[in-house]
Structure formats: structure tokens, C-alpha cells
Copies of this chain bind each other. A is one copy, B any other.
Amino acid sequence: MFVQILDFIGTLAFAISGIRLASAKHFDLFGAYVVGLTTAIGGGTMRDLLLSQPPFWMTNAFYLICTAFGLVWVIAFRKFLVKQNNTWFLFDTIGLALFAVTGIEKTLAAGFPFWTAIIMGTLTGAGGGVFRDVFINEVPLIFRKEIYALACVVGGVAYFVCYKMGLGNVSSGLICGAFVVLARILAVHYKIHLPTLKSED
């Protein structure tokens, strides 16, 4: 129940991030919905394909409904979205943390090594945003700016440490999620960026 509320919050925040960028590019309603949906479910879909499992959203309409809700929200509160930025940043971060934990646990359950699980957690959390940026024809944001995907890696390492210390799934997941949230908030607050690669010329 608690996890479902987080899932709703996270999916909504991811979908809204896609829909807002689509609206900035003058997509129509259908295009905005598809970009929102892809942002929300794209990472998890890639994970499930790589794990040879049926994509999670194909038997559960929850994610489609969430995205529809996000579309209505963006249309209704268009003028207030900028004021809600802090809230959506928080919700997006909660989604990132939850998706990372889900990705890690599903990969471990499928019998893959831990480093694969950390990659899958990162892909689940940050992959949707890459699809979003490809669809709006921009260089993916997570490759250029912000500690975003890296927060999932930090959380994944925290999960690994908890796991090695003998903690259970629930505790490890909570601690992992807390690390993701903390890493992202600290990075934004202290404006921590990864160094950019120098070009050759």
C-alpha cells in the first residue's frame, strides 16, 4: 500500500516531466501522452526486456491511468507548474529512488550478479528520461547535467553493503532509496556536477 502510493507519486512525476517537455516542443495531446508514458515506463520496460520478462505495465493499467492523470494535471495547472517545481522535484526524486530499488530487486530475483542489478536499478530509474529526450530530439539531459543516474548507482552500492551485512530486503531497499534521495538532493543543493570531458581541439 505504502509502496503503491510511492509508485503513483513517482509515475506521475515522471509522466509530468515528459508531458511538460513535450508541451514546450508543441506536441499534440497524443504525442504528449506518449512521451509522458514513455518517460514513466521506458526504463522499467528496457529492464524487463533485458531480463527476458514480460514488461510490468502490460498486465496492469495503473501506469496508463497515472499518465492520463498527469496529462490532465499539466493542462489544468499549466500556469502554476513552475510554482510547483519544488514539489515535482521531490516527487521525481521519490520515483527515482523507488524505481532504482525495484530494478535492483527484480534483477537479483532473476539470479544476476549484483553489479548487473545496480546497472538495472540505474536503467529503471534513469532510462525513461533518455527515451523522453530522444523523442523530443534533444541530447539526453542525464548525459550532460545533474547527478541523476549516478544517485541510483550510489543507492545501488548502499543496497549492496546492506545486503552483505545481512540486512533483509525491506531494510536494504529503504536504505538504498534513502541514499538515492539524499544523493540527488545534496547534489542539487550544493550544485555538485560531474566534470565534463574536455574535447580534443
Contacts and interface: CB of A to CB of B under 8 A. Distances in A.
Instruction: Report how many copies the assembly holds.
Output: 3
Interface string A24-52: 11111111101100000000010001111
B22 A143 contact: yes
A28 B137 contact: no
Nearest to A23: B197
Given A59-B116, A138-B137, A140-B135, A200 B31 contact: no
A28 B195 contact: yes
A201 to B, nearest CB: 8
A17 to B, nearest CB: 13
B136 A139 contact: yes
A108 interface: no
B115 A29 contact: no
A75 B197 contact: yes
B198 A144 contact: no
Interface residues of A, number: 59
Q: Find the residue from A20, A23, A26, A149 having the highest chain B CB count within 10 A.
A: A26
A193 B31 CA distance: 12
Interface in A103-142: 112-113, 115-116, 119, 130, 134-140, 142
A195 B29 contact: yes
A4 interface: no
A196 B26 contact: yes
Interface of A: 19-20, 22-32, 34-35, 45, 49-52, 54-55, 58-59, 61, 64, 74-75, 78-79, 81-82, 112-113, 115-116, 119, 130, 134-140, 142-145, 149-150, 193-200
